[in-house]
Amino acid sequence: MARVRRTPENTRARLVAAVCTGLLCAALTGCGNDGSATADASTASASTLASDPPTSAPASPPEPTPSVSEVPTPTDEPATTGSPDKPVPADASDASSLWGKRFSGSAKISVDIYDYCTTDGSRRQAGSQTYSMNSTLDLSRPRTGGDETESNPFSMLFAAGDPSQAGAVSFWSSAVSTTSSQDLAGNPRDPHLLLTYWDIDWSDGELDARLTDPHTQQAVALNLLNWSSPVVACRSDLGQLPGGYPHALASGTTFAGRLDGSSASLTAEGSSIDGQVAFRFEFDGTAS
């Protein structure tokens, strides 16, 4: 039977120290092999930094950023402070002060009637008549049609009597054609074409207007004198057409006089294109 030999305590301590020394050398040897252990340690350290929240260690100050007031911003034209829905302020001497005005009153109208019932077919005066009619004069902003705007200081509409009534007179300074895309000759036209009939001048309360284009070629004649006509020309004994017949007014018809923000005192004079009627009237109206 073998006998176990006891190792003294001091001997055991030396053996433990030797073993630890050997292990330390082995670790140091591993650290020097192509730096692989160092790389592993660096990777582990980077992974730890990426996953952990930032510490309270002082960091380099951030780059200064400009405040909102320091950042230049592109600007367009200065914004207007007025609202487009508000009425345009107008001086008493400005024609725009008349926009939206209606003048109501009466017109005293004198009409001379002509025909061609002579033996040689020449024109002759066949009669005359004077009468009065309730009338209105409406003024508004210059009318716009398509990409054009009426060049007058205001748009004008005058009406004496009902349009279908015999003796009625109507003045239109402009209109927008929307009824037909062809003229009388069959030529195409813009159905939204702006048609200007009158040339209007207004200054210091004085109106001077002239009919310059009746637009009969466009079949949109709106400046009219409605007058009775015989059923058969030169045969008045056979009766008159009911309701009268609208005679288009000729270029050169005038409408002039005093017109301001409170009242109108105007005189009109002209004739029809067919030469069958000539007229003159005086209109007195009050703004309402």
pTM score over 0.75: no
Return the pLDDT at 244.
80
Return the pLDDT at 145.
86
Helix or strand holding residue 15 (H, E): helix 9-31
From first to last of the 288 residues of the chain, give the pLDDT tens digit: 444 444 445 545 454 454 445 454 444 444 444 444 344 434 333 333 333 434 334 444 444 444 433 433 443 433 333 333 434 434 445 999 999 999 999 999 999 999 999 999 899 999 999 999 999 999 999 999 878 999 999 999 999 999 888 899 999 999 998 766 777 788 887 778 899 999 999 999 999 999 999 999 888 999 999 998 888 888 888 888 877 889 999 999 999 999 999 999 999 999 999 999 999 999 999 998
DSSP SS3 for 25: helix
Nearest to 157 by CA among 142, 132, 137: 137
Return the pLDDT at 14.
57
Chain centroid, CA 25 distance in Å? 93
Nearest to 283 by CA among 108, 149, 27: 108
Is 227 within 8 Å of 242 (Cβ atoms)? no
Helix or strand holding residue 63 (H, E): none
Return the pLDDT at 86.
38
Q: How far apart are CA 228 and CA 79, in angstroms?
A: 59
Q: How far apart are CA 150 and CA 99, in angstroms?
A: 14
Return the pLDDT at 241.
81
Q: How far apart are CA 230 and CA 227, in angstroms?
A: 10
Is 119 within 8 Å of 137 (Cβ atoms)? no
Return the pLDDT at 17.
52
Is 270 within 8 Å of 109 (Cβ atoms)? no
Chain centroid, CA 263 distance in Å? 31
Return the pLDDT at 207.
98
Q: How far apart are CA 160 and CA 226, in angstroms?
A: 10
Q: How far apart are CA 223 and CA 163, in angstroms?
A: 11
